[in-house]
Amino acid sequence: MGAYILRRLLLIIPTLFGIMLINFVLTQFVPGGPIEQIIAQVEGEGDVFQGIAGGGDAGGGAGMESAADDRYLGARGLPQDFLDELEVDMGFARITCAEGFEGTPTLDDPACEKEAIGIMERFAILMGNYLRFDFGESYFRSISVVDLVIEKMPVSITLGLWSTLIAYIVSIPLGIRKAVKDGSSFDTWTSGFIIVAYAIPGFLFAILLLVLFAGGSYWQIFPLRGLVSEGWEDMSLLGKIGDYFWHITLPVIASTISSFATLTLLTKNSFLDEIKKQYVITAKAKGLSESRVLYGHVFRNAMLIVIAGFPAAFLSVFFGASIIIETIFSLDGLGRLGFEAAVARDYPVVFGTLYVFGLIGLLVGILSDMMYVFVDPRIDFESRQV
């Protein structure tokens, strides 16, 4: 098992490289960019740059506007020096100075000039920094991406863990019951409920919960947004716990509904497959009670795929539900951070969250394989090729 885990760990490096390369290339074709975002923010502040762009310099004004307009949509009226500094600050260019130059390189110095950095070089710099977990700084938040990820991560992990745990607590007993009562009226109506639950999109169910129980249109039972109330730090321990669960109830229900349906049917079908096997017939022929056969023999074999799938189930909620649920319920987590960064073209945050998501996904995949071996030691991954 040790050699298998080592091989899987080594495969993380090329896999992450491929993930980052594909997404880096895709961003090159996305319209707009971080510089365009800043241009849009200062678009109405032309007076601030009026003296710079149209001052006494004979070469300024129209010449700088033309150079800016050729490259950046909406940059009319902004000085070229301002755009050059943006490119340097955001890593699209560097400052190079004449040989023998001493001092701090700046674009204001006649001996220095801007040099564009090519796409492949930018990607090489990006991956070199990411291997050291240096994600840089956010373009718009003035904070390092690592600090942002550390700050937002607990919210996403909390949501994923609670949703997965509750899905298992509900689905396993229900799936076993459906397997035992296969074909009965109980099995029929619960299957109908499960199909409906699975068919409802997560975001639609989340909005429905908000309208019914938090929007004020029907019942104002749960809070509309956030993970804790204002003044949470001043509450007692019991007050903090109660307030936390009060806020997280609706997000957890919304993110649990689809995984609950899948997991219930998986448990049922797994038990049905085991119940039909020869060893179960033999155990019943020996006079063992149904509960002894079910929980003493069938349970371990049937639950192998269900229990071992816990990491993958958590990963599904962590990836799939985090962006939608966190955005709808205004939870300040990693999914919402990545979504807002993508909208704002905040590429350091986009690639930083993508890198973290990818790394967690690959590590959880290895953990899932380890769970299989833990549940059933007969499984041997050493004999398999990765």
What are the φ/ψ torsions at residue 44 (nearest 5 degrees)? -90, 5
* Integer Cα distance of 47 and 78 in angstroms: 10
Cα distances from 234 to residues 44, 229, 230, in angstroms, run 42, 10, 9
Q: Are 275 and 298 in contact (CB under 8 A)?
A: yes
Residue 1 domain-assigned (yes or no)? no
Residue 384 has what pLDDT? 58
Which one, of 203, 188, 345, 172, lies nearest residue 270 by Cα? 172
Are 126 and 242 part of one and the same domain? no
Q: Which of 98, 131, 164 is the last residue of a domain?
A: 131
Residue 56 domain-assigned (yes or no)? yes
pLDDT along the chain (386 residues), means of 10: 82 90 84 72 50 37 38 56 73 76 72 79 87 84 87 86 87 88 88 86 84 79 80 83 87 83 86 83 81 78 75 74 81 85 86 87 83 72 59
* Integer Cα distance of 260 and 248 in angstroms: 17
* Integer Cα distance of 176 and 173 in angstroms: 5
Residue 76 has what pLDDT? 52
Residue 48 has what pLDDT? 38
Residue 300 has what pLDDT? 75
Residue 225 domain-assigned (yes or no)? yes
Range of the domain at 358: 145-375
Residue 68 has what pLDDT? 44
115: its two tokens: 């040099």
Contacts of 146 by beta carbon, 8 Å cutoff, 6+ apart: 133, 134, 135, 352
Residue 87 has what pLDDT? 76
Residue 216 has what pLDDT? 64
Residue 373 has what pLDDT? 76
12: its two tokens: 């993380």
Are 107 and 180 part of one and the same domain? no
Are 232 and 313 part of one and the same domain? yes
pTM to 2 decimal places: 0.72
Residue 13 domain-assigned (yes or no)? no
